[in-house]
Amino acid sequence: MECRRWARVNPKSLILCLLGSVCMLISGCYEPILSLDFNEEGVSPLTITVIGGDMVSEEDMNVVFSQLTMLIPELLKNYDCRVEGKQIVLTRRDFALAQDFPYITFKKQADGSYLFEAAIPALYATEQESDDIFMTLRVSLPRTINMANTIDVNDRTATWTVRKNQLHKAQRLRAVTIAG
């Protein structure tokens, strides 16, 4: 779907659509997934996938996609963007560096192992009742993962699912590979 035709949309309709999509994002109708696959230099392709929930139609996903590309024009310039059914997939055209992310640490240790950490700050003042997914982070490292603070580990890849009810305190996601 192209967003060029949105240039002819009535501004009032646009504002209503934007408010609607923000409400759906806040209500937990979507699950964002960030996928990173770091090489030994800390360089990674970057893919963001937004999956629509049970109450979201493919048409809703097309509307959200159009809203995202209108609100963030850099998406069309810097990402390959597509809608696949109830998924929006954004793949960065150039590679991301670990240091591009202020909340991520990626480094090679003295023993040749690799350390990955993501520090997610507390976002709520009190614990939320909702166990809706805030974000899923899928990270592949250059070597087999030896230790991670998630049970979802498969060879070089660790996946963390962060839920809204965890965000009343800071979260630290961590994985360490085998030594080199």
Please determine, for residue 123, whether its predicted confidence score (pLDDT) is greater than 70. Answer: yes
Whole-model pTM?
Answer: 0.79
Length of the chain as a residue count: 180
Report the pLDDT value the prediction gives residue 7, as an integer from 0 to 100: 39
Mean pLDDT of 33-44: 93
Report the pLDDT value the prediction gives residue 25, as an integer from 0 to 100: 52
Report the pLDDT value the prediction gives residue 48, as an integer from 0 to 100: 87
Interatomic CA distance for residues 163 and 135, integer angstroms = 7
Token code pair at residue 93: 């055209």
Averaged pLDDT of the chain: 84
Report the pLDDT value the prediction gives residue 63, as an integer from 0 to 100: 85
Which residue has better confidence, 143 or 180? 143
Please determine, for residue 43, whether its predicted confidence score (pLDDT) is greater than 80. Answer: yes
Please determine, for residue 36, whether its predicted confidence score (pLDDT) is greater than 70. Answer: yes
Residues of the chain with pLDDT > 90, as a percent, come to 47
Please determine, for residue 23, whether its predicted confidence score (pLDDT) is greater than 60. Answer: no
The three-class DSSP label of residue 105 is strand
Please determine, for residue 9, whether its predicted confidence score (pLDDT) is greater than 80. Answer: no
Q: What is the rounded radius of gyration, in angstroms, for the C-alpha atoms of the chain?
A: 18
Which residue has better confidence, 170 or 53? 170
